[in-house]
Amino acid sequence: MGRIPDFLTPPQVSGWDIVDILIVSFLIYEGLKLIRGTRAMQMAIGSVFVLMLVFISQALPLRTMGWLIQNVLTYAAFAAIVLFQSDIRRALSHLGRAGFFQYLGRSERTADTVEEVVTAAGMLAGTNVGALIVFEREIGLRNYVESGIPIDAAVSYDLLTTIFQHSTPLHDGAVIIAEDRIAAAACFLPISVGTNLDKDLGTRHRAAIGLTEESDALAVVVSEERGEISLARHGELHRRLSPDDLRRELRFHLLQGRARKAAAAEAETR
C-alpha cells in the first residue's frame, strides 16, 4: 500500500524531456512517411509482429521461440540493409532535402534556378515562343498552383522550353516556381484590368502584371509576337530586357533581397 502514492504521483517532466519526445515523434513520423507505399512498410509491420513475439516469449515460458527469435534478430539488420538498400538511399536523399539542409544551400540553388530561367527565356525569345514564368516569394501562390497541372520537378531550361512549345498541352498558362522547383504548369493567373497599360500588351503580360499587383511574385514574360523579354514586379512591367538584364534583375531581387532580409533579422535579434 505504501507504493500507491508513489504510483499516483505524476513524474517530473523537464523542458529537455519535451524536446526529446518531440524529436522522437518527428523522426517516427518522417520514417512512416518515407516507407508508406513501399516494400519497407510490410517490413515494418512484420518487425512490429516480431517484437510482440519477443515480449510474449519473455512474459511466458516459451524458451524455444525466444531462442529462435534472438538468433534471427542477430542477422536481421544485415538482411535489411541488403534487401532495402534502394529504400535506404531514398530515405537519406530525402533527409538531405530537409528544411535545415535546404536552407544552407538555398542561395546556391536559387542562383542555378535563375541561370536556367534566363537561358530558357533567351532561347524562347530567339524562336518567338511565348512564355510566362513566375517566381513565388514571401506571399504564397498555392491557389494559382492548384489551378494548373502539378509537376514538382527541378528547374531546367530543357523542361521550360519544352513546356511552352505550341505542340504541348501545357503551353497556355504560367509556370510557377516555388522553392526552386517547378510546382505546376498551365496555371491561370488574374488579368490586370488597368486602363493605362500599353495597347500592344497581350494576355501573358496582363496576367503577369495582375499577379504582381496582388503579390510580391516576380513574373518573367516572353512575347510571342516580338520575341521580347519582360519582367513584372509590383504591378510594373520592365520591357525589352536582354538575358543579362534579366539575370541581373532576378539575382538582385531573389538573392540580394534575401540577404538583406537575413541581415535585418539578425540585427533585430541583437
Looking at 31, 61, 96, the residue that finishes a domain is 96
122 contact partners, CB below 8 Å, separation of at least 6: 229, 243
C-alpha cell at 29: 513520423
Q: What is the total count of domains within the chain?
A: 2
Same domain? 121 vs 35:
no
Report the first-to-last Cα separation within the chain, whole angstroms. Answer: 56
Single residue among 64, 96, 128 that ends a domain in this structure: 96
Which of 102-106, 179-183, 201-205, 239-243 has the lowest average pLDDT? 102-106
pLDDT reading at 183 higher than 90 = yes
We report the CATH number of the domain holding residue 231 as: 3.40.1700.10
pLDDT in tens, 74-90: 776 676 666 666 666 66
- Give a yes or no: residue 132 inside a domain: yes
Cα separation of 96 and 168, whole Å? Answer: 33
**Closest residue by Cα to residue 120 from 13, 221, 17, 255:** 221
Q: Enumerate residues 6+ apart whose C-beta is below 8 A from 263.
A: none
Is 235 domain-assigned?
yes
- Verify that 112 and 82 share a domain, yes or no: no
pLDDT digit string (tens) for 88-141?
666 666 555 554 444 445 677 899 999 999 999 999 999 999 999 999 998 889
Are 231 and 241 spatial neighbours (Cβ–Cβ below 8 Å)? yes
Cell of 160: 521550360
d(CA 31, CA 246): 42
pLDDT value at 265 more than 60: no
Taking each helix axis from N to C end, the angle separating 85-96 and 63-83, rounded to the nearest 10 degrees, works out to: 60
DSSP 191: P
Determine the structural domain holding residue 26 and report its residue range: 14-96
Residues facing residue 154 across a β-bridge: 181
In this structure, the answer to whether residues 64 and 179 fall within a common structural domain is no
Determine if the pTM surpasses 0.85: no
Domain assignment present for residue 6? The answer is no
Tell me: do 91 and 128 sit in the same domain.
Answer: no
Among 61, 96, 131, the domain boundary falls at 96
Q: What percent of the chain has pLDDT over 70?
A: 73
89 and 150 inside one domain: no
Angle between helices 85-96 and 15-35 (to 10 degrees): 130
Give every CB contact of residue 211 below 8 A, 6+ residues apart in sequence.
134, 141, 144, 174, 189, 190, 217, 219, 232
> Among 56-65, 102-111, 258-267, which range has the highest average pLDDT?
56-65
